[in-house]
Amino acid sequence: MTPASSRRRDLPAIVASIAATVLGAGLGELAAAIVAPTASPFAVIGGGMIDLAPAWAKDLAIDLFGTGDKAALLVGIAVLLLVVAGAAGVLERRKAPWGRVALVAVGVVGAIVSFTRADAGTLSPVPSLIAGAAAALVAGVLIARLRRGRASAASGDDDGVTRRGVLALSGVAVLAGVMATAGSFALSGGARAVSAVRAALRLPSPATTTTVPAAADLGIDGLAPVVTPSADFYRIDTALIVPQVDPATWALRVHGLVEQEVVLRWDDLIALPQKETVATLVCVSNEVGGSLIGTARWLGVPIRDILARAKPTAEADMVLSRSVDGFTASSPLEALTDDRDALLAIGMNGEPLPIEHGFPVRLVVPGMYGYVSATKWVSELEVTRFDRAEGYWTSRGWSERGPVKLQSRIDVPRSGAQVAAGETVIAGVAWQTHVGVSGVEVQVDDGPWQKATLATAISADTWVQWSLPWNAASGSHVIRCRAVSATGETQTSDTAAPAPDGATGWDQRTVSVA
Ligand SMILES: Nc1nc2c(c(=O)[nH]1)N[C@H]1C(S)=C(S)[C@@H](COP(=O)(O)O)O[C@H]1N2
Ligand SMILES: [Mo]
């Protein structure tokens, strides 16, 4: 037998093993939908990869795929799985039962990872084990047929009938796998149920509101609107499958270094006086000039009101907020109890929080990057100390505290834009949430720094729009901007990467004027 003909005979084994794996994965997803909705093998492995991935890999994924990072990860896992399945097919044909062992091992890895997930239950390993076992069983049967077909054939190529039969069975396995996957989607009605609850929900009206002055929005084409529509609001989190939390079963436990443990349910929360504020939320991963920032009207109860009931003890200096999916954020106790509008938010832009933005309850803390404050799907506030506990990203190398840095961005003209010569406008946004911005300066090429006009600020907790008229001469121009904070600090030109505590440097655009 020549190596070439051996390799050719690998092909039907590869097809059979991949088909068996598609079937196993489908059955695993179906089993998850029935017995352990949070333990979908794909979600478990993907979630484990997100948690284990080093910070640079997370940044790279956000850079490459933006908010499509999770879809990209799922596709990546599927491709990897099919490659492993193909290899297992070759192994099984040449050295049975090692191919089956490999497929079972993949299931066992999924089962082990499922135990490490924050929302693990006793049945969590079951779907991955079923997936691995089914894939191994079916691959074993199909490849054994191929081997028997060869053994009974007189020459290497006479077993075509067996091969065609196995290929047909592989097709059936793929079809069954796809149907099982579709069934799992149909069964995981939890997601649809929570959407329905959300759609029917009526929010209480606020006792106090913040109005958005008309002059807060300059209405310039291409400039980010001062209040970001929820549908355009950036989304960053580690949740591969968006947690589905029913307000009817939601509860917030406040515990740790407190005199009085407090458990707050949805009905308790909406019975309290609600405040509507406008605040800008920004991600620590936002690059200079980046778009991981947005501003919304938030409705909710000041966190200090809840903490006042629990009475933190004198030694406490941090609150570790925890999400139902295990994510944690460490916020200074002071930022949650001083006079700022740190909210336990239930509404965003006049509607219940969108599910991917934390429905039914999240935190919003002006002045802090999201990773140390803005816990979505929040279920716990543990009052503790910075020297005793740390948040999700802190344990992955990011700073334990994350006050928002002074920044500004040019929105108009866009980078690389073609601008007609003559009177035009340069415009953008600037922020240092909870400090405020007192001015923005713009430099064209190496000319003098010119003062831009600021729009009316909604508050120190929001970004502010700015603009500057520009008489553009033909040629290529470099535009840069820098903000001045309400405390008189000028935005630094020193460049720093987002890790570990936020990017610095000036935003700059090159535009060509014709
Ligand atoms: N449960 C949970 N909450 C979370 C996160 C997360 O990964 N899980 N990410 C935080 C980060 S890093 C940011 S920047 C904000 C983003 O909030 P948004 O998706 O509503 O814009 O949510 C924060 N809250
Ligand atoms: Mo973030």
* CA-282 nearest atom, ligand 1: 14
Ligand 1 pocket check: which of 67, 371, 405 to mutate, most ligand atoms within 8 Å of Cβ?
371
User: Residue 363: CB partners within 8 Å, gap ≥ 6?
Assistant: 303, 321, 329, 331, 342, 343, 344, 345, 373, 374, 375, 378
Ligand 1 in contact with 113 (CB < 6 A)? no
What separation in Å is there between the alpha carbon of 1 and the centre of ligand 2? 58
Ligand 1 in contact with 502 (CB < 6 A)? no
Measured by CA distance, the residue closest to atom 9 of ligand 1 is 237
* CA-378 nearest atom, ligand 1: 1
Instruction: Name the amino acid, one letter, at 72.
Output: A
What separation in Å is there between the alpha carbon of 198 and the centre of ligand 2? 25
User: Residue 305: CB partners within 8 Å, gap ≥ 6?
Assistant: 272
pLDDT at 57: 79
Q: Which H or E run includes 106? A: helix 98-116
Give CATH superfamily name and number for 214-396.
Answer: Oxidoreductase, molybdopterin-binding domain (3.90.420.10)
Within 10 A of 174 (CB to CB), how many other CB atoms are there?
Answer: 18
Following DSSP, what letter does each residue of 12-31 receive, concatenated? Answer: HHHHHHHHHHHHHHHHHHHH
What separation in Å is there between the alpha carbon of 219 and the centre of ligand 1? 29
Q: What is the pLDDT along the chain (514 residues), one digit of tens a residue?
A: 456 667 778 899 999 999 999 999 999 999 888 877 667 888 788 878 787 777 787 777 777 777 677 778 888 888 888 999 999 999 999 988 999 999 999 999 999 988 887 666 778 889 999 999 999 999 999 999 988 887 776 555 556 778 888 999 999 999 999 999 888 887 776 666 787 788 888 899 999 999 999 999 999 999 999 999 999 999 999 987 788 899 999 999 999 999 999 999 999 999 999 999 999 999 999 999 999 999 999 999 999 999 999 999 999 999 999 999 999 999 999 999 999 999 999 999 999 999 999 999 999 999 999 999 999 999 999 999 999 999 999 999 999 999 999 999 999 998 878 899 999 999 999 999 999 999 999 999 999 999 999 999 999 999 999 999 999 999 999 999 999 999 999 999 999 999 999 999 999 999 999 9
Q: Which two tokens stand for residue 462?
A: 């929001």
pLDDT at 34: 80
3-state secondary structure of 61: helix
pLDDT at 1: 47
d(CA 146, CA 16): 10
Ligand index nearest the alpha carbon of residue 235 = 1
Rounded to 5 degrees, φ, ψ at 20 are -65, -35
Instruction: Name the amino acid, one letter, at 512.
Output: S
The third-level CATH classification (topology) of the domain covering 407-513 is: Immunoglobulin-like (2.60.40)
Ligand 1 in contact with 380 (CB < 6 A)? no
Using omega within 30 degrees of 0 as the cis cutoff, is the peptide bond preceding 97 cis?
yes
d(CA 262, CA 241): 29
298, 347 Cβ separation under 8 angstroms:
yes
Ligand 1 in contact with 465 (CB < 6 A)? no
pLDDT at 162: 83
pLDDT at 116: 80
Extents of the domains making up the chain:
3-187, 214-396, 407-513
Q: What is the pTM of this model?
A: 0.78
pLDDT at 40: 81
User: Residue 7: CB partners within 8 Å, gap ≥ 6?
Assistant: none
Would strands 251-256 and 378-384 be described as parallel, antiparallel, or unpaired?
parallel
DSSP state of 432: -
User: Residue 95: CB partners within 8 Å, gap ≥ 6?
Assistant: none
Measured by CA distance, the residue closest to atom 7 of ligand 1 is 237
What separation in Å is there between the alpha carbon of 236 and the centre of ligand 1? 5
Ligand 1 in contact with 376 (CB < 6 A)? yes
